[in-house]
Structure 1
Amino acid sequence: MLEVAPAGAAARLAARSGFAVCALTLVSAVFLQKIALPGTGGLYPLNLFVFPAVTIAAFLAGVLEINTTALVWYALFVSLGALSTALSPSPHVSALSLGFFVVAQFPLVFRNASSEDFQRRMMSFLSTVGCVCALIGVLQFVGQFVVGPDVAFFLDKHLPENVTVAGYNSLIPLYWSSPVYKSNGVFFLEPSFFCQFLAVALVAELVLGSTALRLVILTAGLLCSYSGTGLTMLALFLPFYFLRHGHSRLFVFAALLGLVLIMFGDALSLDAFTRRISEFSDVQSSGWARFLSMFRVLQEVVFANDLTFFLGRGPGTVQEQFRLLSFYAFDPTWGKVIYEYGLLGALAYVRFFYVAFCRGPRGLRFALGYTYLFLGGYLLNPSILMQLAALVVWLGKTAPATDQAREGAPEETGHMFVPALGTR
């Protein structure tokens, strides 16, 4: 007994340390994503420094360990990237872009060193952070009618340019020339980032065993973002979740929510969502660009040449011809990998991503994997990569402790909805 107690205490300490590192990383990913490193002109996010710094500190403290298999595939991909850079026919190739990849993705070769499982605690924390962000987003959206957008969007309007991450459109009107802005949750780079994070938090809440109050708060935040990207993930996730777990009360909740939205659709300007469905057939629309344009870009540029087919056009080149195209184009993560690193690089990255990513919680694996690969050009975005690490990659050393966590099922509490926001 004298030997067991210290071992148990050490295990609990390791689990608490692992949770603390993941929680800190998630909080930084959310609340620091607009902040740039001073003196870089907004080109380098602060999280590009925070992410590897936290990773190295956690590794030295014994909280994280190296995933050897992931490290091998990461090294192979970087080597192929260097070869692609050397042989690139593009004048836009950038060794700096490859260096950016090396720094931003290196933390994904680590995993939790403890065998203690804190997945459910981490998902509960994600749900809580999501609810807090949703409330902030709702207040921001409503606040622009009360105190004006200058105050409601104070970070976007008053944060100095030299400490603001450049290249993002944080102020987006509901429609062309509208005086009303979509909510970006104050701290998020764009309304789409806000929407996607809340959608992932909603998935975590469902996996844990959803409470009515949290679902309402997260849904309200999603509506105030007036962004459809996170909703596409939910549209794929929810039917399978409902069918698998048979939660009839959630069907009732969804039906009541749909009825409310239909009745008050005009007052809520929900046509900002619905009219975007037609975008998938319009080559000049953002919907077509985000989900379909990359297929044509790859066919016309990369697949037309044997060298670029196998090794790509080189790091940093994905947008080189966007201005010359007759259609509106976008570079999602999956497309950027194939365009810049070719078939060989894409195969190496897929294997690296699978080894690093696919041992984490199943529900979050789908939500974050879909978001990362399809909803944005996130290959070099440290804030999104920090979410992947904190919520999936760093939790993936061992199988979850319970079958419920493995399957993404809620706890058998006997009650589907518990109207409380407290800890579980």
Structure 2
Amino acid sequence: MDDAQQQTNRGTARTATGLRTVATTVAPASPGLPGTPGAAGSRTPAHGQGPDTPGATSTADARVMVGVTIVVVALTVLQRFALPLGSPVPVTIPVVAAVLGYLAYHGHVREDGASVRTYALAMGALSVVALVDVLWRGTGSLTSLLLLVVTWAALCFRVDERRLHLFPRVQRRFETFMLVFAGIGIVQMLAQFAGIWSYTDLLRTVVPQNLLFQGYNTSYPIEYGSPVIKANAFVFVEPSVFSQFLALALLSVLSRGREYWRVAVFAVALVCTVTGTGFMVLGFGLVVLAVRRGGLWAVRAAVVLGIAGVAALLSPLGPILLSRSGEAGQTNSSGSLRFVQPYQYLLDRWSSDPWSVLTGLGPGQADRISDAIFAQTGLPISFAGAAKMVLEYGLPAFLLAVVFLFVAAVRRSPAPTVALAAVFLNAVTSSSFLAANIFYVLLPMATLFVGRRTELSVWEEQRTDDDPTDAVEVTVPPWTTPLGGTR
């Protein structure tokens, strides 16, 4: 029987039965967005499959996931690697540029209009005050300004709206990477306490020094004079950065509302870093979650957090963690040098030089001031990202940069808690607004997937899906079943 005759017979059968043809089912372009039948790269999932079901994917989805995975590898495995181009350049910068270029070539990444406009406004203001400082004060590094402009440009890009449904997969992939490193960090600490291994920086023994960042506190003891070194999973530039990434992964699990066992692993590894900055990121994120999810969730979280805190204090590291809890109020302690004295210096400078409130002291000056203080006093004062930007560019330009970060990373984010925690990590607990190997954690966890759905709406839907009392039974009459399949 030829094709024409087959089509005629099918049409006759439909007429005889009175049944209409059922349209092909296409997976939604993204959660909360209408489907795009016929769009390039889409495929028809089997009955019961959704865009997050294993196997319900497309070539475009695969490309985006591979690209984002490469970025995550650069942020973790390659975090300590640098290109020896005069001054060391994070290998993350060319990696991210290549990934964005590849995805843009295939049409899976585009620029975001609102982000581009606010980026141009913020960078224009930063450039103006930097030129004022160079011409008037004779201070500032245009190279530092150029690095900032180039690094922040990546935040202007978004994945295509048809790929927004991939964000939960991206979160889970980042968490999986961090689970591996969490396990390594826990083993590092247990092996040292058991006396079966003495810490050795394995990466430094196999990689040439000119290909690794220098100047970071990559390996330092849990307390003065102790032979036990804080966990850093070998690949993180500092235990504090490791702890901040662990806190971000933990908050990612909570925002997804799935696989809570991961929280326990991240929490144990967080304790093994014996640093306070990760707990600061975690505390900030929990406050945001409590505000977003209401009082009942906050009470439950407080109970769990209290139990976890007691367990941490009863561990061998408990006394050390407890002794560090009041560091910020102790003169010349690590906490004071990072979270008190930089802001005291900033206020004193504003008092003696009011114009610096408006124009700052010039790009790169925060590092020069830190080096000068260290040379004079031996105190390693460290300016966090926000304090550094205010000191170098002034308050008005800094506020425009904040607006850009809000538009690029937080507004319409699929997981506002994770996005805010990532911004907090870079602005308050780390001096990484120019350190792309840390700063770019904003890309997979925030900016690339800015869209229409929010973490709260996803969480509410998941809670509803898990509640059998909300299930509605639907009975489909047999006569509505089309020939050759089910509706």
TM-score range, shorter chain: 0.7 to 0.9
Counterpart of 1:349 in structure 2 is 401
User: Structure 1 residue 302: deviation in Å?
Assistant: 4.1
Q: Deviations over 1:303-325 (max 9, x none)?
A: 54354221211111113333348
Of 244, 252, 272, which aligns to 2:294?
Answer: 244
Is 2:457 the counterpart of 1:404? yes
Matched residue of 1:186: which SS? coil
How far apart, CA to CA, are the structure 2 residues paired with 1:233 and 1:42?
30
Any conservation in 2 of the 1:208–1:410 contact (CA below 8 Å)?
Answer: no
What is the correspondence of 1:359-374 to structure 2 with a 5 Å cutoff?
359-360=412-413, 361-374=415-428
Counterpart of 2:78 in structure 1 is 32
Counterpart of 2:311 in structure 1 is 260
Matched residue of 1:10: which SS? coil
User: Structure 1 residue 15: deviation in Å?
Assistant: 4.0
Is 2:368 the counterpart of 1:320? yes
How far apart, CA to CA, are the structure 2 residues paired with 1:59 and 1:91?
40
User: Structure 1 residue 9: deviation in Å?
Assistant: 4.4
How far apart, CA to CA, are the structure 1 residues paired with 2:436 and 2:453?
26
User: Structure 1 residue 287: deviation in Å?
Assistant: 0.9
Counterpart of 2:320 in structure 1 is 272
Any conservation in 2 of the 1:120–1:405 contact (CA below 8 Å)?
Answer: no
| Distance change in 2, residues 1:65/1:175 (3 Å) | same
Matched residue of 1:28: which SS? helix
| Distance change in 2, residues 1:66/1:46 (3 Å) | same
How far apart, CA to CA, are the structure 1 residues paired with 2:125 and 2:319?
46
Is 2:157 the counterpart of 1:110? yes
Matched residue of 1:44: which SS? strand
User: Structure 1 residue 301: deviation in Å?
Assistant: 2.0
User: Structure 1 residue 61: deviation in Å?
Assistant: 2.1
Is 2:74 the counterpart of 1:22? no
Counterpart of 2:392 in structure 1 is 340
Any conservation in 1 of the 2:111–2:156 contact (CA below 8 Å)?
Answer: yes
User: Structure 1 residue 406: deviation in Å?
Assistant: 7.2
How far apart, CA to CA, are the structure 2 residues paired with 1:414 and 1:222?
32
- Count of residue pairs brought into register by the alignment: 408
Matched residue of 2:110: which SS? strand
Between 212-221 and 2-11, the greater mean CA deviation after superposition: 2-11
Whichever of the two has the greater Rg, that structure is 2
User: Structure 1 residue 212: deviation in Å?
Assistant: 4.7
Counterpart of 2:51 in structure 1 is none
How far apart, CA to CA, are the structure 2 residues paired with 1:17 and 1:312?
43
| Distance change in 2, residues 1:260/1:299 (3 Å) | closer
Letter in 2 for 1:81: L
Q: Deviations over 1:333-377 (max 9, x none)?
A: 111111111123112211211111112211212221211111011
Is 2:229 the counterpart of 1:181? yes
Percent of pairs with identical residues: 24
Letter in 2 for 1:348: L
User: Structure 1 residue 226: deviation in Å?
Assistant: 0.9
Counterpart of 1:63 in structure 2 is 108
Unaligned runs of 5+ residues in structure 2 are 1-22, 27-35, 44-56, 469-487
Counterpart of 1:418 in structure 2 is none
TM-score (norm 2): 0.76
What is the correspondence of 1:42-81 to structure 2 with a 5 Å cutoff?
43-81=88-126
Counterpart of 2:476 in structure 1 is none
With a CA cutoff of 8 Å and minimum separation of 6, indicate the structure with the bigger relative contact order.
Answer: 1
Unaligned runs of 5+ residues in structure 1 are 416-424
| Distance change in 2, residues 1:33/1:318 (3 Å) | same
Counterpart of 2:144 in structure 1 is 97
Any conservation in 2 of the 1:192–1:230 contact (CA below 8 Å)?
Answer: yes
How far apart, CA to CA, are the structure 1 residues paired with 2:243 and 2:348?
32
Matched residue of 2:387: which SS? helix
Counterpart of 1:387 in structure 2 is 441
User: Structure 1 residue 217: deviation in Å?
Assistant: 1.2
How far apart, CA to CA, are the structure 1 residues paired with 2:231 and 2:391?
33
User: Structure 1 residue 157: deviation in Å?
Assistant: 4.6
Any conservation in 1 of the 2:362–2:393 contact (CA below 8 Å)?
Answer: yes
Matched residue of 1:6: which SS? coil
Q: CA RMSD in A?
A: 2.9
Matched residue of 1:170: which SS? coil
User: Structure 1 residue 219: deviation in Å?
Assistant: 1.3
Counterpart of 1:420 in structure 2 is none
How far apart, CA to CA, are the structure 1 residues paired with 2:65 and 2:77?
18
Any conservation in 1 of the 2:247–2:279 contact (CA below 8 Å)?
Answer: yes
| Distance change in 2, residues 1:302/1:166 (3 Å) | farther
What is the correspondence of 1:80-159 to structure 2 with a 5 Å cutoff?
80-88=125-133, 89-90=136-137, 92-115=139-162, 116-144=164-192, 145-150=195-200, 153-159=201-207
Counterpart of 1:166 in structure 2 is 214
Matched residue of 2:85: which SS? coil
Matched residue of 1:378: which SS? coil
Any conservation in 2 of the 1:285–1:328 contact (CA below 8 Å)?
Answer: no
How far apart, CA to CA, are the structure 1 residues paired with 2:74 and 2:207?
18
Counterpart of 1:310 in structure 2 is 358
Counterpart of 1:421 in structure 2 is none
Any conservation in 2 of the 1:140–1:185 contact (CA below 8 Å)?
Answer: yes
Letter in 1 for 2:398: A
Letter in 2 for 1:117: H
How far apart, CA to CA, are the structure 1 residues paired with 2:237 and 2:467?
40
Letter in 1 for 2:155: L
How far apart, CA to CA, are the structure 2 residues paired with 1:362 and 1:402?
6
Matched residue of 1:111: which SS? strand
How far apart, CA to CA, are the structure 2 residues paired with 1:187 and 1:385?
16
